[in-house]
């Protein structure tokens, strides 16, 4: 465990989708050394119970603390919704903990007072109502309309994120009456940055598409600066671990991270 600025940042997700967040973090903070953990043995988290996600999250967090991480970033929306409070409590003063929901809530507070905003995410994220509760707590008269869009994760993982099939599925969800008359749409899932272009095209310029990976990376930078934790001596090697390794996970890293990386199999669940 460490709070030294040169220590790594631990980032975890249910699988490899969280690489969209890791990628945004590396773009914003190229000098940071990251240890990524994708719990591919248990994905998808989006359909799991809160209790199961909490148990996985605690075990992963402990492993990242053992690696000396100065900060744990829960890159998965479903795990942020189900496990952030428990993970924070568990970590205590051993490291900092961030999730992917709070930076978006801060963004809404600054930009969407009195307005209507949509949210798409997994069943776990949407049914948890965590976004609604946090928006309500802002007391800024923001109305949130959330829709679970469970077909999008498997669709993207199978490589359908451009082309007719994906367009039809995306359109079917976005035409839902619940997602009308809003000024922004939050992409509340690790995978959705890959279909951002299609969603932007669907709405045109009147609806802002809020990509949480970018907002989270910016918030992380501000947070590290504030706590004097920016790594001023870069050079550590990044590690990308998964709890179950397959060639197909390896092949899709490029899709989510934008460049080739080497996945390492972790023995966490052995």
Shortest distance, position 4 Cβ to ligand DGL, whole Å:
29
Q: Which of 60, 63, 74, 76 is catalytic?
A: 76
Helix and strand tally (H, E) in the chain?
Answer: 11, 10
Q: Do the beta carbons of residue 118 and residue 146 sit within 8 Å? A: yes
Residue number of the CB atom closest to ligand DGL: 46
| Helix (H) / strand (E) containing 58 | helix 50-66
Nearer to ligand DGL, 18 or 118 (CB): 18
15 binds ligand DGL (CB under 6 A): yes
166 binds ligand DGL (CB under 6 A): no
Nearer to ligand DGL, 159 or 234 (CB): 159
Q: Do the beta carbons of residue 10 and residue 64 sit within 8 Å? A: yes
The secondary structure of 92-124 as a DSSP string is TTSSEEEESSHHHHHHHHHH-TT-EEEEEE-HH
Q: Of how many residues is the chain composed?
A: 270
Q: Which window, 42-50, 132-140, 203-211, 219-227, contacts ligand DGL (CB under 6 A)?
A: 42-50
How many other CB atoms sit within 10 Å of the CB of residue 161? Answer: 22
Shortest distance, position 18 Cβ to ligand DGL, whole Å:
6
Nearer to ligand DGL, 8 or 83 (CB): 83
Which residue among 14, 57, 61, 128 contacts ligand DGL (CB under 6 A)? 14
83 binds ligand DGL (CB under 6 A): no
21 binds ligand DGL (CB under 6 A): no
Which residue among 6, 61, 99, 125 contacts ligand DGL (CB under 6 A)? 125
Sign (positive or negative) of CA dihedral 122, 62, 214, 245? negative
Q: Cα–Cα distances in Å, from 143 out to 148, 161, 163, 232, 260?
A: 17, 29, 32, 41, 40
Binding mask 179-198 for ligand DGL (x = CB under 6 A): ----------xxx-------
**Nearest Cα to 109, choosing from 85, 137, 82?**
137
Token digits for 195? 């279909």
44 binds ligand DGL (CB under 6 A): yes
Size of the site for ligand DGL (CB under 6 A): 18
Q: Which residues are catalytic?
A: 76, 189
Which residues of the chain form contacts with ligand DGL (CB under 6 A)? 13-15, 17-18, 43-46, 76-78, 122, 125, 153, 189-191
């Amino acid at each position: 465990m460490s709070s030294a600025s040169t220590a790594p940042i631990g980032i975890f997700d249910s699988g490899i989708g969280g690489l969209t967040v890791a990628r945004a973090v590396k773009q914003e903070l190229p000098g940071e050394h990251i240890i990524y953990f994708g719990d591919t043995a248990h994905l998808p988290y989006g359909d799991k119970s809160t209790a199961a996600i909490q148990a996985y999250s605690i075990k992963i967090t402990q492993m990242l603390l053992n690696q000396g991480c100065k900060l744990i970033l829960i890159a998965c929306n479903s795990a942020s919704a189900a496990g952030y409070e428990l993970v924070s409590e568990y970590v205590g003063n051993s490291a900092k903990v961030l999730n992917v929901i709070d930076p978006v809530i801060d963004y809404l507070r600054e930009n969407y007072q009195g307005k209507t905003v949509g949210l798409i995410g997994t069943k776990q994220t949407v049914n948890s109502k965590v976004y609604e509760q946090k928006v309500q707590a802002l007391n800024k008269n923001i109305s949130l309309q959330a829709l679970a869009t469970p077909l999008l994760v498997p669709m993207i993982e199978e490589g359908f994120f451009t082309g007719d099939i994906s367009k039809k599925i995306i359109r079917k969800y976005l035409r839902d009456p619940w997602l009308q008359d809003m000024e922004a749409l939050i992409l509340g899932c690790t995978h959705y940055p890959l279909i951002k272009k299609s969603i932007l095209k669907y709405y045109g310029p009147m609806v802002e598409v809020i990509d949480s990976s970018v907002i989270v990376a910016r918030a992380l930078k501000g947070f590290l600066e504030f706590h004097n934790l920016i790594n001023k001596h870069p050079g550590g090697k990044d590690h990308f671990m998964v709890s179950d390794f397959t060639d197909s996970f390896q092949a899709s890293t490029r899709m989510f991270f934008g460049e080739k990386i080497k996945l390492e199999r972790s023995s966490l669940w052995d």
